[in-house]
Amino acid sequence: MRALFFLLAALPLAAADPEIRIQRPMTPPAWALLERELLRSSSAACERFGGKYLDSRGYLLHTPRWGTLDGPDDAIETFYNWTLLYAMGGSNGVLDLYKKALEGHLQQYKELRTTKTKLAEDGAYYKEFITQSDWFHTGEGIRAFMFLGLADPAAPHLVARMKRFAAMYMGEDPEAPNYDPVHKVIKSIWTGSKGPMLHKATTYDWVGDPVPGSFHLLHGTQGRGRLVNLFSVYDKMLAHCAEYLDSVGDHPLNLASTGLALNAYALTGEAKYKRWILDYVGAWRQRTEANGGNIPTNIGLDGKVGGEYGGRWYKGTYGWNFTIYDGEIEQTALRNTFSAGSWPGFGNAYLVSGDQGFVATLRKQMDNLYAQKKVQNGKTLIPQGFGDPRGHKMTGREEWYEWTENLHTNRLTENYIWGMDRGDLKNLPVEGWLGFLEGTNPGYPEQALRRQLEWVRQQVQEMDEDDTTTDTRLADYLMGFNPAATEELAKLTMGAYLSGNIWSLHARLRYFDPVRRRAGLPPDVAALVEKLETNLAVVTLVNTNQAQAREVLVQMGGYGEHELTGVKLDRGTLAPAGGRVLRVQLAPGAGGRLELGMKRYANEVTLRQPW
């Protein structure tokens, strides 16, 4: 039977949404059944994880310690994607357990005390935010919290906390003067609720106190296989961070702090948050462009590129030239994190403005690296560092060095998905998910979902076989058991690509259940984003339930930032439509292919749910 559909005129988000009815029967494709099973089994596995590794207070069952190797950020990072899983359609139990773990974590690490570093002498948290740390680690630990608004914008304390935390980085909190609004810099690589560190760090700041006992250490060379007395390797842990002491000045890692302002803006609509993001990231954009398109890894307190190193833009802890001797593994290592905060930060500015210039800056950085590429034995290599190849032992040389097969394809993929510039595909292998979007890999969805299901099964098996005890686990140990499978669901259902350890959601579509009034795909509904173009997204929606109708709200963009301009069902005619949200009625066992015309970044971001 020919599908019957109708559309209403474009209306504001809170009013009636454009609506379409899908009535054509569709036998559920394998990908649709696999999606539903992955949501179900991953949620069940998370609930099982919570039952085993959380106590009644929400405390994670491990031995708390301060430090960046196995400290507070790792403990809460264990749940890094649970809010995302719920926001895509995971169970209520997943969200409830995350909220319980968050509150328990804040209290558990508030009780921590250190003697070798002042950073946690009165607890790891002050005003519910880390006292001081670098945004490589703060960003990892705060990932699930950054997505809590996507899952439940009405969650207790969410708005108050997000505003409080954003204030710490916008110059509004006198106890945390991390930001200089005159020079538009965050003053140190070490920042937090007690302000910036304006002196050299110590190895104890990075590593914390030793604690008595033997543990399954994951850092260094010890591995999960045997118990190691912490006191016996403590000197090695200190040696790991022996050269991580320079702290003063801004670093691209700090761009990750814009995620707090993004969330505060999307939760409240207050324009000051958007202005700050654009001011701060805009300053980084100007400095990067003036630096030949290379993102500096040190901005001085005077606002000048390389200001703490005599103008050497590539210096600093976690900088382009951060080649150090790691005494824990007893070898030289380059630990350049230029992209870890800059891609999220520039991406946040892009989300709130739609200004393609922010993507262009990131594109130029990749072009600079690929301009230095070499081909050896048929393999493409690009440099990972710049400056003196000997790192801290300066000889006056400045050059690209450390050519490897790390081609930064994750960042190139982000550039393409964000900007939709076909030129960004020139250095990308069009395979896997990209191959599917390009029409050359039709089997990808089913294959990827089957792999994820197998991974969940393996995680559950490892969880069941784990016989460790609370007093033999440090904070990072349980991260490896997290069974929340979100990577492929994000790609396939939302057209979202999440890279690295610090996130914002760049999604073409997002879904809501109007019956249960919550985020995520409704029961029995599956979605497959099949094609993405600048002003078009193609998605197939399926109701796998053969006896009951389903209704789903399809939002344009993760934060409603896109505007719907037209809809075509199957082989019908493109009909004009407007607004952020399309209401779709699915008859029992029905499915259809929707072509959604859209104007990207036409709307202000919001976490307000569409009812």
Whether residue 492 contacts residue 449, with contact meaning beta carbons closer than 8 Å, is answered with yes
CA distances from 241 to 199, 214, 271, 448 (A): 16, 21, 40, 38
pLDDT digits (tens, 9 = 90+) for 72-92: 999 999 999 999 999 999 999
Compute the distance between CA of residue 210 and CA of residue 214 in angstroms, rounded to an integer: 11
Helix (H, G, I), strand (E, B) or coil at 433: helix
The pLDDT score that the predictor gives to residue 412 is 98
CA distances from 453 to 37, 457, 480 (A): 8, 6, 16
Compute the distance between CA of residue 582 and CA of residue 594 in angstroms, rounded to an integer: 11
Q: What is the largest CA-CA distance in the chain?
A: 77
Whether residue 93 contacts residue 47, with contact meaning beta carbons closer than 8 Å, is answered with yes
Of 128, 133, 163, nearest in space to 244 by CA? 133
Whether residue 44 contacts residue 38, with contact meaning beta carbons closer than 8 Å, is answered with no
The pLDDT score that the predictor gives to residue 14 is 40
Domains contained in the chain, CATH given: 19-28+508-599 (2.60.40.1180), 33-53+60-481 (1.50.10)
Sign of CA dihedral 278, 280, 283, 287: negative
| SS3 of the chain: helix, strand, coil, percent, to 5 | 35, 20, 45
Compute the distance between CA of residue 302 and CA of residue 550 in angstroms, rounded to an integer: 58
Half-sphere CA count of 207, side-chain side, radius 13 A: 25
Compute the distance between CA of residue 453 and CA of residue 435 in angstroms, rounded to an integer: 21
Whether residue 280 contacts residue 259, with contact meaning beta carbons closer than 8 Å, is answered with no
**H or E element in which residue 125 lies:** strand 125-126
Number of CB atoms found within 10 A of residue 243's CB: 18
Which residues in 301-437 belong to E strands, given as ranges? 323-326, 331-334, 374-376, 379-387, 399-404
Compute the distance between CA of residue 323 and CA of residue 339 in angstroms, rounded to an integer: 16
**H or E element in which residue 169 lies:** helix 158-169
Whether residue 321 contacts residue 388, with contact meaning beta carbons closer than 8 Å, is answered with yes
CA distances from 114 to 123, 211, 216, 458 (A): 8, 10, 21, 37
pTM, full prediction: 0.96
Number of CB atoms found within 10 A of residue 317's CB: 27
Helix (H, G, I), strand (E, B) or coil at 598: strand
Compute the distance between CA of residue 599 and CA of residue 602 in angstroms, rounded to an integer: 6
| Cα-trace Rg, the chain | 24
3-state SS string over 64-106? CCCCCCCCHHHHHHCCCCHHHHHHHCCCHHHHHHHHHHHHHHH
The pLDDT score that the predictor gives to residue 368 is 98
Of 153, 125, 122, 154, nearest in space to 138 by CA? 125
Half-sphere CA count of 304, side-chain side, radius 13 A: 8
The pLDDT score that the predictor gives to residue 222 is 57
Low-confidence ranges of the chain (pLDDT < 70): 1-15, 220-225, 391-395
pLDDT digits (tens, 9 = 90+) for 523-555: 999 999 999 999 999 999 999 999 999 999 999
pLDDT digits (tens, 9 = 90+) for 393-428: 666 789 999 999 999 999 999 999 999 999 999 999
Whether residue 389 contacts residue 375, with contact meaning beta carbons closer than 8 Å, is answered with no
The pLDDT score that the predictor gives to residue 571 is 84
CA distances from 292 to 36, 44, 146, 303, 569 (A): 48, 50, 32, 17, 47
467: tokens are 């016989």
Compute the distance between CA of residue 544 and CA of residue 525 in angstroms, rounded to an integer: 6
Task: Write the single-letter amino acid at 462.
Answer: E
Whether residue 97 contacts residue 47, with contact meaning beta carbons closer than 8 Å, is answered with yes
> In terms of residues, how long is the chain?
611
